[in-house]
Structures are given as structure tokens and as C-alpha cells.
Amino acid sequence: MKNVNIAVDGPSGAGKSTLARRLAERLGYIYVDTGALYRAIAYDMLQHHAESEQDIAERLPELDIAIDYQDGVQHVLVNGEDVSGLIRTPEVSMGASRVSAIPAVRQFLFDLQQRLAREHSVVMDGRDIGTVVLPDADVKIFLTATPEKRAWRRYLELEEKQPGVQSYEDVLADVIRRDEQDMNRAIAPLKQAEDAVLVDTTDADLAQSEQMLLDVCKEKLRL
């Protein structure tokens, strides 16, 4: 039976990780959080003070990035260390946007992402999955919401984990800056694939958003 590939793209803070993970659970597929892979590289580069593109490219061969699934939850490992709980800070987020624009980094992760898609039915989320990584995906979804809504969701998430770390205004500024970076980078900029279905969750709660994605998949896959 042919593996099914579902690509979920969209800007920072659109809820891709949460919704793609829940969608994968509903469908019984493997969830691949590609943003976490870039964050893992950014985290390692910050730890080793690799700042220039050359320094980062030279560091890559020393990295073993792996995905491990424990009770259905994705864990990201860097050289055997589980960094899943260390890669969600604003600093790592901005670092991920920067390293994702480096061709050597993209190629480094491209092979891993494609191998996972060949070997499993996956829901894979990121910024260029439908346009670059899985251009032949069975279902392509472009998930978005207004910058203000995305910033508010991210702010509430941060407040729950680390109260008082950032103001809403700072989070909004980060979201807008990240959008600018992602949409204007030279390599694989953020954009909606021509055959992707646009899903705007600005006025939807989590359950409604999940159902919107599930409805798209049911229609496309004739489930």
C-alpha cells in the first residue's frame, strides 16, 4: 500500500506543529516537525558559537540529527542528546530562521526529510514542504492566521511556560520580523504552493482548526 504524504506549510506561529501532530494522530500517520530539526541545528550552533555561514557549514558533519518517537511523541536528538525541551526559546526561533536560509543546512536536512516520507505515511510541517521538500505530496495545506492572532497564541504559550519573559508587543514584533525573514530569503522562501489549500484559522479555536485540516484531507484522499 502506497505511503501517503501530507504537507502543511505556513508562517511562524500559525499552529502548524500542534495541528499537524493532531492530524497525524487522527489519521494514524507519523508526524514530522521539520521546524524542530532546524531549531535543533540552531540550538547546537548557539551552543558552539558558530555564527558565520562557513562556521555553520563546517559544524554540520559533526552533527547526528535524529527523530525518535516515544508514545507517539516526536523527540529530536542531537548527537544522542534529547533537545526537544531546549529549542522553543525566542533566541533559538530566530536562529532557526537564519540557519534555514543556508543552502548547506537545507541540504543536510532535505535527505532526512525525504527518507522519512518514503518510508512512512507522514504529516510533515514546515515552510517549504509543499514547494520544495515534498512537491508531489498527496495533500498540501497552507495554514495561516493574522500576525496579531499568531502573536497572541505564541504569547499565551510563552506565558504558560515562562511568565513575564516577553511582552505581547515583543512577541508580535518577533512574528513580523520572522515573516519578513522567511518570505524574503533567497533559498526556498515561504510561499503557498500553487496546488495547496489555504486554511485560515484566525477565527477558529483548536478543535475547529483541527477539523478544518481533517476535512481537507478527507476530501483530497477520499477518506
Among candidates 159, 147, 32, which has minimal Cα distance to 90?
159
The three grid cell numbers given for residue 80, joined into one nine-digit string? 544522542
Residue type, 210: E
> What predicted TM-score, i.e. pTM, was given to this entire model?
0.81
- What is the predicted pLDDT for the residue at 123? 96
Q: What is the pLDDT of residue 90?
A: 83
| pLDDT at residue number 69 | 79
DSSP string, 109-133: HHHHHHHHHHHS-EEEEESSIIIII
Domain that holds residue 189: 5-221
**Confidence (pLDDT) at 78:** 93
Question: Any alpha helices (H) in the chain, and if so which ranges?
Answer: 16-27, 34-47, 53-59, 90-99, 103-119, 147-161, 168-184, 206-221
- The reported pLDDT for the residue numbered 72 is 66
- 118 vs 99: CA distance, rounded Å: 25
Asked if 31 and 123 touch (Cβ cutoff 8 Å), the reply is yes
Per DSSP, 143 falls in state E
CATH number of the domain that residue 107 is part of: 3.40.50.300
Q: What is the mean pLDDT of each run of 10 residues along the chain (223 residues)?
A: 92 90 92 90 94 93 86 84 90 89 90 89 92 95 96 90 87 92 84 95 95 96 86
Count of domains observed in the chain = 1
Rounded Cα gap, residues 158 and 152, in angstroms = 10
Sheet order of strands, 73-78 included: 65-70, 73-78, 81-82
Ramachandran assignment for 218, one of left (phi > 0), alpha (psi -120 to 50 degrees), beta (any other):
alpha
Percent of the chain past pLDDT 90, that is, above it, reads 64
Residue 101, pLDDT score: 85
